[in-house]
Amino acid sequence: MLVHFRSVGRRGCGRAARWVLVVCALLAGSAGAQEDQGIHREPEDAGVPPSAPQLTKAPELLKFVEAVYPPEALARGEAAEVAFTIDIDETGKVTQAEVTRSAGPEFDAAAREAVLQLEFSPAEVDGKPAPVRIEYVYHFVPKPPPPPEPTAVVEKPVNFRGRVVERGTRDPIANATVYLPEQGLTAETDEEGRFELRGVVPGRIKVEISEPKHRKFLTTEELREGEVTDLTAYLWKKVESGFETVVVGAREKKEVARRTLQKQELQTVPGTFGDPLRVLQNMPGMARAPYISGALLVRGAQPEDTQVMIDGVPIPLLYHFAGGPSVINASFIDRIDFFPGAYGAKYGRAIAGIVDVGVNSPEPKRLHGLVDINLLNSGFYLESPLSETKNYGTLAVSARRSYIDLLLPPVLEAFRSPGGATTVASPVYWDYQARYDLKLGKDRLEVLAFGSSDSLAISQSGSEETQPFSLDTHQAFHRLRLGWNRLTDSGWKLSLAPTIGITPFNFQIGTVFKGGITSHDVNVRGAAEKELVKGLSVETGTDINVANYDVHFEFPQVAKPEDTEPPPPRVVSKHVNVSTYAAYGEAVWLPLEHLKLVPGLRFEAYQLPGGTRGSLEPRLAARYELTDTLTAKAAVGLYRQAPQPAQVAPTFGNPELGLPRSRQTAGGIEWKLSQLVLLDLQGFYNWRDHLVVSSQDFVERNGQQEPELYNNRGHGRAYGMELLLKHELTERFYGWVAYTLSRSVQWDEDAKVYAPVEFDQTHILTLVGSYKLVGGWELGMRFRLTTGRPETPISGSTYNADTGRYFPVEGVPGSARGVTFHQLDLRAEKLWTFERWRLSAYLDVQNIYNASNPEGTLWDYRYRENAPIRGLPLLPTFGMKGEF
């Protein structure tokens, strides 16, 4: 890590006594763009593009040591400065100091001896202590001769004081210079942004306040005799900054395909309505889902083959119903890691990809909040320390609720034809998150609670052409997670996080058919990691997940001729336990200067209704730096997951099912075309077997013949190429081009062919760009182009006299394709900054040119005529955000 500091000696002082901390969290690609402004930069891993983690806490000087002034130079009144590059370890001690700009042997030796004794508070990256490298300049300034001692010293009282904060956010600005040019008085703000001046001559005074990252502040104040004048100065943050922080090695790049997006990229992508998790749909390897599903379709696999987690805790769904917003508030999200395949041993139970959403670890120094109101829902976010003077910890809470249930019924009624059926739809969703953090010495404790609920009730009264109909569904989940982290004196980073939760799902169709599945979940994750020797670090841990499912269904029964009343419904209830117990180990080894190997091994024991299944899953990733800007990479791994609960439940499924398996390989290059542009190109090939497929066979169970329902005879493969051309995030612009060329097929036993899977899409192209204009405006666009999904052609129909129904005559499965999808989305946002708060208004328009984009085909009952099911029409959404 390279963090740039500048030390400045005060007028008349003997040593560096004032610090200006310059920290501007930019991506690694922007480092080179700033070099012409005098900022020194060192490469992270030579040729390995940094993954842009965040510096969450900069090192602060705790102990200053004054150097011995060379006697001869002091006698001559000679000033000097010596520049160093110094290494600070994770405890804050200086371990190395290298002279980068010399002032002569005497000055160099004296300054180096003093610098090696400096002590800092530990720097933190992504909330964890981390070693850093900084540039430090030591100034030698000869002291002026001491003035004659006065007979009596009378300290003048403080009569001008104040606080300097950032306009809009009210964050305190430390190390700002407060200068009174007419009286020659200066002061410097402390960590809370406060300053004091003594003996200011009363009257009208000019005040100048400056700080490198903010615009200069000028004002005129009136001071009265015998009174103390208070000033609160609100400084505008500069759009452009000449300083930077380059984070290296904080989150080591180990995987072949890990795509990480930061906060600004997550909240301003057009077509996502400011929802960070919807940005995932614009990444390479992610197929486009139908507009109302919100499914994650990774490299041609089924949605259930990708696991979604929040801080390592599995959750059952990522989006609210009908492709709504994600289930976690945007302000709670710190980062999103997306692994489309060939991921490391830390994760498991997914034969496709992993999505791990990192939650903020807030450290607010005051109350901070945000309110977001748009046409679909409203939400808020609040964070605050529980005490401004004592260490009682910090608390952050957020919640959101939709009001579609209030807006949709009048719309449906307005479009109802005269004499037609009355339809009432009441969709409701809400979610919440709360987090408490407390630091106790080397320990960090956290409590995280989050949950989501979706309800949908549809009722139709019926008419001359339609039958009465009603549908009620409810899906929810709730989680409570405890967390503990510690960095030991021996260098081990320890963490433990137990979680409990409940996941209910219930539905009812009409008055006679209903059912539900409720799971009670317990998850425990623990990890220990350490750098054993230089070039070799290890991580080992456990990952336990226990899920107890209660399955309940009620079926209507056919009345017998002799029955005088309708028979009661048939009730079927089952209890299913699907639990997994895993241990893993992973190493990062640098056997050669430019070679990085990441071997890993994961053992998983699956407890299923039919017995325990063991799984040993080796993984290996490698990265080799061909040049300073070009890196080759490859990975291979074995992955398994449990069948779905309904597939192994007695009566409903096959308890004897085994584990679906995937053998994944991937390889490619990362080429840094410039300091701001990265090209990531990779190919992949995945073999999938032991897949669960439906079965018409009968098997013997408990001494009698029963339907098999499901078996593990499915097998298929997915292969292709993914390209990501990304312009790294700068102060004004970010953007990327994502392209996927892929093929995903599975064996069709009836047709005896490898048929494309349901969501296979050959070409997937996404263009994203956003630019900040002057005056608080930001404009963005997103364009998507994808191949249509596979379809089975229908050439006619046959009539069945026994049932009185027509049945389609189908061709080869997957031999036809739907219409190519294309859509342009635009977003405009305007920001107003006031002294104590900020307000923004945004307009997000999907499908700006109103492309039809059919999502399917609707046939008449004889399969002779058809009509397309239209996709999402032009959809504008307006919203406002307020932040204080």
For 443-470, give one letter per residue: b (16+ CB within 10 A) or e. Answer: ebebebebbbbbbbbebbeeeeeeeeee
Provide the mean pLDDT of the chain.
Answer: 83
- 830-864: per-residue pLDDT in tens? 999 888 888 999 999 989 999 988 888 888 888 88
Residue 413: per-residue pLDDT? 62
Positive or negative: CA dihedral 798, 802, 804, 805? negative
Half-sphere exposure of residue 807: CA atoms within 13 angstroms, side-chain side: 7
- 6-41: per-residue pLDDT in tens? 433 333 333 333 333 333 322 223 333 333 333 333
- 733-785: per-residue pLDDT in tens? 889 999 999 999 999 888 888 999 988 999 999 999 999 888 889 999 999 99
Residue 16: per-residue pLDDT? 35
Determine which of 281-290, 455-464, 802-811 has the lowest per-residue pLDDT on average.
Answer: 455-464
Residue 259: per-residue pLDDT? 57
Measured distance CA(102)–CA(365) in Å, rounded: 40
Encoded tokens for 162: 């104040």
For residue 37, report the phi and psi dihedrals to the nearest 5 degrees.
-105, 15
Half-sphere exposure of residue 465: CA atoms within 13 angstroms, side-chain side: 6
**Amino acid in the structure at residue 727:** H
Q: Identify the three-state secondary structure at position 28.
A: helix
- 95-107: per-residue pLDDT in tens? 999 999 898 888 9
Residue 654: per-residue pLDDT? 92
Determine which of 67-71, 251-255, 731-735 has the lowest per-residue pLDDT on average.
Answer: 251-255
Residue 767: per-residue pLDDT? 95
Mean pLDDT of 362-378: 87
Measured distance CA(769)–CA(373) in Å, rounded: 24
Q: Identify the three-state secondary structure at position 34.
A: helix
CA distances from 296 to 120, 206, 282, 355, 518 (A): 45, 60, 11, 9, 23
Residue 249: per-residue pLDDT? 27
Residue 45: per-residue pLDDT? 43
For residue 144, report the phi and psi dihedrals to the nearest 5 degrees.
-70, 160
Residue 145: per-residue pLDDT? 66
The answer to whether the CB of 663 falls within 8 A of the CB of 715 is: no
* Cβ neighbours of residue 363 closer than 8 Å, sequence gap 6 or more: 56, 57, 394, 437
Determine which of 267-271, 494-498, 658-662, 842-846 has the lowest per-residue pLDDT on average.
Answer: 267-271
Residue 522: per-residue pLDDT? 96
- 541-574: per-residue pLDDT in tens? 999 999 999 988 887 777 777 777 777 888 888 8
**pLDDT band, very low/low/confident/very high, at 469 (cuts 50, 70, 90):** low
Nearest to 586 by CA among 571, 601, 570: 601
Nearest to 586 by CA among 626, 545, 543, 547: 543
Nearest to 546 by CA among 605, 494, 610: 605
Mean pLDDT of 577-592: 94
Measured distance CA(15)–CA(8) in Å, rounded: 9
* Cβ neighbours of residue 202 closer than 8 Å, sequence gap 6 or more: 159, 223, 224, 225
**Amino acid in the structure at residue 9:** G
pTM for the predicted model, two decimal places: 0.72
**β-pair type (158-166, 229-235):** parallel
Mean pLDDT of 861-883: 85
More confident residue, 52 or 486: 486
**pLDDT band, very low/low/confident/very high, at 241 (cuts 50, 70, 90):** very low
Residue 449: per-residue pLDDT? 96
More confident residue, 470 or 597: 597
**Is pLDDT at 152 greater than 70 in this prediction?**
no
DSSP code, position 280: G
Mean pLDDT of 282-290: 87
Measured distance CA(72)–CA(55) in Å, rounded: 43
